[in-house]
A and B are shown apart, each in its own frame.
Chain A
Amino acid sequence: MSQPDFSHDGIRTARGTAFRYLFMLCALLSILTTVAIVATLLIDAIDFFATVSPIEFLTGTRWSPTNDPVAFGVLPLISGTLIITLGSALVALPIGLLTAIYLSEYASERRRAYLKPALEVLAGVPTVVYGYFALVYVTPALDTILPLSTFNALSASIMVGIMIIPMVSSISEDAMSAVPDSLRQASYGLGATKFTVSTSVVVPAALSGIISSFILALSRAIGETMIVAIAAGQTPRMVDLTDPAGMFLDSIQPMTSAMVQIGTGDIVGQGAAYKSLFAVGLTLFVITFVMNLVSELVASRYREVYR
């Protein structure tokens, strides 16, 4: 925004310029933060890759940073993360999508006014609390019908899923609300019911927004730490994708949980286990960063369509 400059007062102008640069520094701090994150992760990760080759790290199927014989294969951790992501996706994506449809197409203005804040609460509960819930309430409850281990992927996935429901529902609902009403009216005019309008018109029209919300929620699930650290266990293992029972009923270890384990252990000095923290952190950062960018790109497409 521009404004005519009537002031010829040198001090006032100088002060204005000083504030301008001060505020600019604050904004640039965000770029500095990103640079610092990448630098911190890279410096120690490169150090780590001097002792453990990147190929061994990325293709190794055994993770044992502290117990002999030490091994630094990240695949078991990635497979652990994959299980949690898959499990929470099965919970959150259908529920989140149905919630978005309900809020956008069915709910009255009044009902929406209290349902939306109530849903947001789900994302506001501290994750350590969810982890505790999974360990002491969900696991014992499910244990009565399923042969569950004390630490298991199932209850952790369910809790992560519940936590990310509002991410799916709020972004999807925004996309559905942005669908022009004329499309709905045209469909009603052809004699369609609300069900048909919702599923055959609104959802396809809002698809890029919905996909964007899915990716963002899954990225959140991948980065989720405390729920899996408390409830999913500390057993890094390769999962057998053909054996769902073995995947979900037993203890696993995702990337974030392995980081917490190393972080809480007494690893003094600069050993390989300490450095491996940054290699795993870098892997996690790259995965979530790419997913967030893709989500952003997909979302910006639908914004253009209806503008």
Chain B
Amino acid sequence: MAADTQEASVDSGFGQISRTKDVAFRLLALAATLIGIVSLAALLLNVAVDAVGWLDWGFLTNPPHPNPNNAGFLPALVGSIAIMIMIALVTFPLGVGAAIYLEEYASDGYLTRFIQLNIANLAGVPSVVYGLLGLGLFVGLFNIGYGSVLAAAFTVALLILPIVIISAQEAIRSVPDSQRQASYGMGATKWQTIRNVVLPRAMPGIMTGTILALGRAIGETAPLIMIAAPTTVFGVPNSLLSKVSAMPLQIYNWASYPQTEFQYGVVAAGVVTLLVILLTINSVAIIIRNRYQQRT
């Protein structure tokens, strides 16, 4: 049958009809779909192999050291986690608040549309520009210290806020309107409806979106460089105003070391650590989403 159509090429407005071309194109499109995934898989395999022998308990519990055998990741690891906790504390209430306003309160006027367009545009601003915002605003104007935990957290928080708002809006929008009407029918006020009906139903979706955004935040490097976070610190941060490094910053710093022990050993161990933590964060988000989907 296939041979039949191959020979009988009909001249239509679309040009020659050829089964061979169709199959070739299908394979080309499949190859294009796979090429990025396969390349990344190959690179990840490389880095995992290189990290073997370097990623050990000493690496995770030591401070950085010019000798690759003694180099450790601890201050960067703790720094990243500290920044992450602060970011979560800032973005969660602000992001959910903004989403509640836009979905539950705002009328469909010019202001709402302007805010919505503005949020979409903020999500497209390069992260290095947010770094300059942090440098000018938090470090310069508010004077909370070059490269401090707070300055880093606030800067990256503004960067991921649009993502948190957009995903929280989607979660709130997915709550059926009938549930709100039922609540109003029982005599509840708008705020009671939001608190007792909308938020509990939307919470898993909001959590998933926020956690995924935190995954984005943990890999951000450029904003931290711009607010002059040191690429290497030797101690764990002990206050919100102490100077902080982070995992991606330490990786950036190490990547410029010329020794092969760093390029194909210590940095690989750092990259694997960062990716494992990122994977863990994203898995938690996906687990929350799946549990929620099963229940409804």
Contacts and interface: CB of A to CB of B under 8 A. Distances in A.
Interface stretch (A18-26, A56-64, A242-250): A18-26
B231 interface: yes
Interface string A163-188: 00110010000000000000000010
Nearest to A126: B219
A30 B221 contact: no
A146 B129 CA distance: 35
Contacts of A229: 222, 252
Nearest to A270: B140
A203 B35 CA distance: 21
Given A27-B106, A30-B122, A33-B158, A3 B190 contact: yes
A99 B125 CA distance: 26
Residues of B in contact with A, size category: 35 or more
Interface in A17-60: 19-20, 22-31, 33-34, 36-37, 39-41, 43-44
Interface string B152-183: 00000010011001000000000001001100
A99 B33 contact: yes
Contacts of B115: 27-28, 30-31
Contacts of B256: 230
A162 B129 CA distance: 23
A107 B215 CA distance: 29
Contacts of B215: 124
A106 B29 CA distance: 9
A132 B12 contact: no
B35 to A, nearest CB: 6
Given A19-B191, A119-B36, A127 B129 contact: no
A101, A102, A119, A162 — most chain B CB neighbours (10 Å)? A102
Interface in B223-250: 225-226, 228, 231, 248
A43 B36 contact: no
A271 interface: no
A154 interface: no
A230 B36 contact: no
Given A3-B184, A115-B33, A136-B267, A30 B119 contact: yes
A32 to B, nearest CB: 10
A222 B219 CA distance: 19
B189 to A, nearest CB: 5
B86 interface: no
B189 A263 contact: no
Contacts, number: 278
B13 A219 contact: no
B141 to A, nearest CB: 8
Interface residues of A, number: 97
Nearest to B270: A132
B39 interface: yes
B282 interface: yes
A129 B277 CA distance: 13
B280 interface: no
A119 B14 contact: no
A306 interface: no
A171 B236 CA distance: 42
B218 interface: yes
A208 interface: no
A26 B98 contact: yes
A281 B129 contact: yes
B44 to A, nearest CB: 9
B203 interface: no
Interface string B193-233: 01000000000000000000001101111100110100100
A27 B114 CA distance: 11
Contacts of A131: 252, 255
B98 A260 contact: no
A238 interface: no
Contacts of B133: 33, 36-37, 40-41
Nearest to A29: B94
Contact of A27 (B14, B101, B231): B101
B121 A259 contact: no
Nearest to B224: A263
A126 B191 contact: no
A110 interface: no
Contacts of B10: 191
18 contacts: A13-B189, A23-B98, A24-B105, A26-B100, A31-B115, A31-B118, A95-B32, A115-B33, A122-B37, A129-B251, A131-B255, A190-B12, A193-B18, A196-B17, A222-B126, A225-B128, A284-B126, A284-B129
Interface of A: 1, 3-4, 6-7, 12-13, 15-16, 19-20, 22-31, 33-34, 36-37, 39-41, 43-44, 94-95, 98-99, 101-103, 106-107, 115, 118-119, 121-122, 124-129, 131-133, 135-138, 162, 165-166, 169, 187, 190-196, 198-200, 216, 219-220, 222-226, 229-230, 256, 259-260, 263-264, 277-278, 281, 284-285, 288-289, 292-293, 296
